[in-house]
């Protein structure tokens, strides 16, 4: 049922995206182009959310194909989508991706993982008054590539840390508790992992990709 509904929503959205790209072919003002950029980025965000719902359906694991993608490009595409939130919340972004790497992954699903962790970090940082800092780093360590996302917001409550990746576990007042569970499923499906460490000074999530030998 959930998969059928997700597909019904996705089909008209794909049509909308097609017409947006046709509009770009016209001779447009720079302001109009910037508005189209925002619309398309938000559209991509909706697509990622749908992919997340499909992850919980029986058909979810077979929904998205694998392709060779650049981790650097993927991370930067997500940063583009959240830039307005970073500015709105006066968050300092420290970015150090380093060596680029090409991996065979489910692109939209992995975008959702990175987006989810960054947006969770922004939510956490909004709870402190000043010196809001988000640190995003990428590095290869032998046969793995690690994208780490750290923030100096509040500590994740110790009472839920051991079950944070289980469905419906959240510290947010209005959270569903599904985001991190979906992220865990996606990383497992892509032969990777996601881990975290949290203390009163810093919370760091590590998105781990296996690098073929």
User: Could you tell me the CATH number of the domain that includes residue 70?
Assistant: 3.30.565.10
Residue 118 shares a structural domain with residue 41: no
**Burial classification of residue 93, based on how many CB atoms lie within 10 Å of its CB (0-12 exposed, 13-18 middle, 19 or more buried):** middle
Condensed to tens digits (0 to 9), the pLDDT of residues 134-187 reads 999 999 999 999 999 999 999 999 999 999 888 878 777 666 677 888 899 999
| Alpha-carbon span 155 to 11, nearest angstrom | 40
Q: Cβ distance 154 to 124 under 8 Å? A: yes
Count of structural domains, the chain:
2
Please indicate whether residue 28 or residue 180 has the higher confidence score (pLDDT). Answer: 180
Q: Domain of residue 127: give its range.
A: 66-213
Residue 110 shares a structural domain with residue 81: yes
pLDDT of 206 strictly over 70: yes
Residue 42 shares a structural domain with residue 146: no
pTM over 0.85: no
Residue 112 shares a structural domain with residue 20: no
């Amino acid at each position: 049922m959930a998969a059928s509904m997700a597909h019904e929503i996705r089909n008209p959205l794909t049509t909308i995206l097609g017409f947006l790209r046709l509009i770009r072919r016209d001779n447009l003002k720079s302001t109009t182009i910037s508005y189209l950029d925002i619309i398309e980025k938000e559209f991509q965000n909706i697509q990622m959310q749908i992919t997340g719902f499909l992850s919980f359906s029986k058909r979810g694991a077979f929904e998205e194909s694998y392709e060779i993608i650049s981790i650097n490009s993927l991370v930067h595409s997500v940063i583009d989508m959240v830039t307005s939130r970073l500015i709105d919340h006066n968050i300092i972004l420290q970015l150090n991706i380093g060596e680029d790497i090409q991996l065979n992954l489910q692109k939209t699903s992995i975008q959702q993982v990175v987006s989810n962790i960054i947006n969770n970090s922004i939510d956490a940082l909004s709870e402190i008054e000043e010196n809001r800092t988000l640190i995003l780093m990428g590095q290869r360590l032998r046969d793995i590539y690690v994208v780490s996302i750290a923030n100096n917001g509040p500590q994740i409550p110790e009472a839920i840390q051991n079950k944070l990746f289980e469905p419906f576990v959240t510290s947010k007042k209005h959270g569903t508790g599904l985001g991190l569970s979906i992220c865990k499923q996606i990383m497992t499906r892509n032969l990777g992992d996601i881990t975290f460490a949290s203390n009163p000074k810093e919370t760091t999530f590590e998105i781990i990709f296996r690098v073929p030998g």
